[in-house]
């Protein structure tokens, strides 16, 4: 990786920078649960699993990682377009998966928007298997 990149656990103080990155990243779906309060709850529920990458004081990469005691789940794995190809995504992913392994989680899932071609390519390149046997259903519990 070129330049100085700092990898560390994500805190709620990173919210504005992370949200800006997510909003600028094709293929990241944002919703009501991505509010500052929603992300703060997610971080509190999943300590030691979510990470950011900083470059010159700016958030250039993120991974939200959570678990339910059986499986891990990844959300908002994003790297700024200007910093792609430096191994940042792979490094963030490694940290998140290691944090799951340390607590005995043996399988991790993620969801990729059908239109996110580059995201799908990243996951397949990194050894993730696309599932054709599962349908995802969602229901909004908000107004």
**Which domain range does residue 13 map to?**
5-125
**Tokens in use for 47?**
């300590």
| CA-based nearest residue to 28, from 37, 19, 36 | 19
Residue 99 placed within a domain: yes
Residue 134 placed within a domain: no
Question: Which is higher by pLDDT, 140 or 107?
Answer: 107
Q: What distance in Å separates the CA atoms of residue 16 and residue 135, rounded to the nearest whole number? A: 33
Residue 72 placed within a domain: yes
How high is the pLDDT of residue 31? 93
How high is the pLDDT of residue 141? 86
How high is the pLDDT of residue 2? 54
Residue 143 placed within a domain: no
Residue 11 placed within a domain: yes
Residue 130 placed within a domain: no
Query: What pLDDT, in 10s, does the model give residues 72-107?
Result: 999 999 999 999 999 999 999 999 999 999 999 999
Q: What is the CATH number of the domain that holds 30?
A: 3.40.630.30
Residue 22 belongs to what H/E stretch?
Answer: helix 15-24
Helix, strand or coil, per DSSP, at residue 99: helix
Number of domains in the chain: 1
How high is the pLDDT of residue 142? 77
Residue 111 is given by DSSP the state: -
Residue 119 placed within a domain: yes
pTM: 0.92
Query: What pLDDT, in 10s, does the model give residues 1-54?
Result: 457 999 999 999 999 999 999 999 999 999 999 999 999 999 999 999 999 999
């Amino acid at each position: 990786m070129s330049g100085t990149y700092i990898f560390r656990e994500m805190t709620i103080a990173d919210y504005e920078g992370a949200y800006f990155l997510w909003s600028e990243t094709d293929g990241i779906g944002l919703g009501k649960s991505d509010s500052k309060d929603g992300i703060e709850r997610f971080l509190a529920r999943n300590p030691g699993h979510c990470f950011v990458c900083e470059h010159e004081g700016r958030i250039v990469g993120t991974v939200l990682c959570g678990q339910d005691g059986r499986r891990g789940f990844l959300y908002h794995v994003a790297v700024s377009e200007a910093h792609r190809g430096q191994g940042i995504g792979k490094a963030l992913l490694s940290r998140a998966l290691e944090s799951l392994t340390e607590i005995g989680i043996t399988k991790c899932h993620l969801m990729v928007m059908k239109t996110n071609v580059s995201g799908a390519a990243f996951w397949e390149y990194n050894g993730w298997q696309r599932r054709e046997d599962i349908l995802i259903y969602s229901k909004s519990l908000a107004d």
